[in-house]
Structure 1
């Protein structure tokens, strides 16, 4: 039996442990993956109904674990007061994929119309065309046609259910962030510039995520917001216009975490409040849709928000300088009823 297979088996067996956290002021137990109550028509491991209360279907998913007690604990991450915004400028993605609208800005001179020395502006952009949160109605299960907690595609089109406004009304997203600086780990091991192309479908293995955490000296906690730096934003920042168009609009292929049963079980076992990447889809894209697509598990089965195209470059430099990779995180998405996506409005405070 190879060491790789043994390590994989050890990671999977670790998932058997019961996880306990706090929800609505009370201790709550997450059963092991294989012991979660079966949800009709959904694969084993589905969390639908888990956070429902008083007969009302939950619309916040794993953000429910970000309780006041967890936030109070996360404030201990603030040690120097250094703060870094993690939103890429809205205009940065030069060639959005799938025909999405890039940012357009119209500046309005109010002096001409109202004789005020004043300016307004109007913005038009697709919420998937830059740093973003995917809400729980952005991506459904491709075979069943349902989103988190049983929302059908037809209902998603005609209702506000699972909209991003639910996150705003619970106070935004506040907790402990953890950077997994895979790119820095990879390049210190193999040399600067040695990392796989960000616009190839390179799959980052789970064991390399764990090696990165070990290299950083980082321990994960219940309810963390996990952030994986793969190098996509750095590539885009340095690429020519021709290379950007070829790598994004013309090919729509990107680096990301390897989707697998092992990765799904590992993600479940840690009960992250949300996951974030600096690439277009967190997981390597496009997915295989072989039963382990991470979008289907994170967004659909568990209600775990996915952040994409976040700018983790300055955060990486700061974490390296301070020799710690955890921080207090705040995020205030756009308060739009039924919103499907939003710039994160995210700040890391160290």
Structure 2
């Protein structure tokens, strides 16, 4: 039974393919096709996987393999992929041969699937699934007219819940703000000289991780007698430079993570994943692989609090001033007034989708400390300078609509919070879905920004695609 053309908002072959297979199953079972948008973020949608029978699931894998080359598709070009008959017999037993033809135009992706059925008329070619057409233009979602912090609804006794802003099934949080246009504009305006700066501390730093986390283990393997080497690495994804993901820190009083995801709905321990094309949706839900698939890319803004207090930003101080009005290794809260004053001195005006990065001075002090002092830091209760826990700070971060926030210190926020003071992690991760970056190495970034006289740049980060992961090294860089 041929399918009528369908149209959905999507911009990847993978998303289109998922929708196409929903219609394919509908044609086989004579059920009406499922309507609606494909899950954002690429890959095979859970919606498609959930409704596939065993045979169709195997077929989905075959078709996915057949379009692995999708990134090479040029506008107006057709491609064919015909799996072997032995593969088809075991994976799609009611067919003798399949041909996939993908045609990509400037605004559409067309996938035609032709089937030779196993019938006495074996030579007769019939169309199992007719042309399916998808709007391949980027999503029109621009996130205009976002509510102010004070207009966000409550979640029980917690103010400022943004779940309804992004949608009940959302798994990206504020990364939604990094639209195609936001990324394109940032790249066009910020990449001028081609200068690049890594924002990643070496994997083995700090030498003794904080919060009781395990030190990274790097096993360098010589595969003699060949001139070949391997590495085996065992790390806690939060031992050094990191993104805190949506599974890291939830709403402590209520036992849920972002978008009302219950703690007891998540597996723990070593979870084997045998088939990357048939992953349990519950295992992947709000995992950091969603950010890895999307990318955290856009305009980065450095607020160099250290240079602000040194007087370098207005010429009243001198480079290398070591004294600050606070000790980065002791409890101290940075206020909204301080952040805004620093931005003004730097000539920075925030805009929606910015990735905010703070230089508080933690790594600078670590680099200048003795090994004895570094070891002592890990042995004592954690105390750090960071953003204060206040309604004003929440209002500042939300109303500027930052896509993410990062810092050079291990907790982003003032640590400890103080008795009776809720963690900012609960609001940022649990209520907003905002990535929290910690221990970003911004020392070279600070130098480049000061030299160039600009504190904005193109920021790029691609976390590890850890299915169901709660955190990841950021693999972050700044481009000027």
TM-score range, shorter chain: 0.7 to 0.9
Determine which structure has more spread, i.e. the larger CA radius of gyration: 2
Given the alignment of the two structures, is residue 31 of structure 1 paired with residue 143 of structure 2, yes or no? no
Q: Deviations over 1:230-262 (max 9, x none)?
A: 000111111112211222331211111111111
2:172, 2:433 within 8 Å by CA — same for their partners in 1? yes
Q: Cα offset for 1:182?
A: 0.5
Q: Deviations over 1:86-125 (max 9, x none)?
A: 00001120221232111111111112xxx42110011111
Given the alignment of the two structures, is residue 247 of structure 1 paired with residue 377 of structure 2, yes or no? yes
Count of residue pairs the alignment pairs up: 320
1:328, 1:349 within 8 Å by CA — same for their partners in 2? yes
The 2-side partners of 1:250 and 1:35 are apart by: 41
The 1-side partners of 2:211 and 2:423 are apart by: 19
The 2-side partners of 1:286 and 1:157 are apart by: 29
Higher RCO (C-alpha under 8 Å, 6+ residues apart):
1
Aligned with residue 246 of structure 2, among 124, 136, 152: 136
Q: Deviations over 1:132-191 (max 9, x none)?
A: 000011011221121111012112345332110011222x11100000000111122677
Given the alignment of the two structures, is residue 117 of structure 1 paired with residue 227 of structure 2, yes or no? yes
The 2-side partners of 1:290 and 1:27 are apart by: 38
Aligned with residue 197 of structure 2, among 78, 84, 109: 84
Residue 232 of structure 2: SS of its match in structure 1?
strand
The alignment's C-alpha RMSD in Å is 1.7
In structure 2, the partner of 1:230 is 360
Q: Deviations over 1:303-324 (max 9, x none)?
A: 0000000000000000000000
The 1-side partners of 2:317 and 2:373 are apart by: 24
TM-score computed with the length of structure 1 as normaliser: 0.87
Given the alignment of the two structures, is residue 206 of structure 1 paired with residue 345 of structure 2, yes or no? no
Q: Cα offset for 1:24?
A: 3.8
The 2-side partners of 1:104 and 1:26 are apart by: 43
In structure 2, the partner of 1:181 is 304
Q: Cα offset for 1:203?
A: 1.2
Given the alignment of the two structures, is residue 161 of structure 1 paired with residue 275 of structure 2, yes or no? no
Q: Deviations over 1:208-242 (max 9, x none)?
A: 11111111111111110000000001111111122
Alignment of 1:240-319 (within 5 A): 240-288=370-418, 290=420, 292-319=422-449
Alignment of 1:50-69 (within 5 A): 50-52=165-167, 57-69=169-181
2:142, 2:179 within 8 Å by CA — same for their partners in 1? no
Residue 237 of structure 1: SS of its match in structure 2?
helix
Residue 26 of structure 1: SS of its match in structure 2?
coil
The 2-side partners of 1:228 and 1:98 are apart by: 21
Residue 248 of structure 1: SS of its match in structure 2?
helix
In structure 1, the partner of 2:185 is 73
In structure 1, the partner of 2:164 is 49
In structure 2, the partner of 1:216 is 346
In structure 2, the partner of 1:11 is none
TM-score computed with the length of structure 2 as normaliser: 0.64
Which piece of structure 1 moves more, 297-306 or 94-103?
Answer: 94-103
Q: Cα offset for 1:58?
A: 0.8
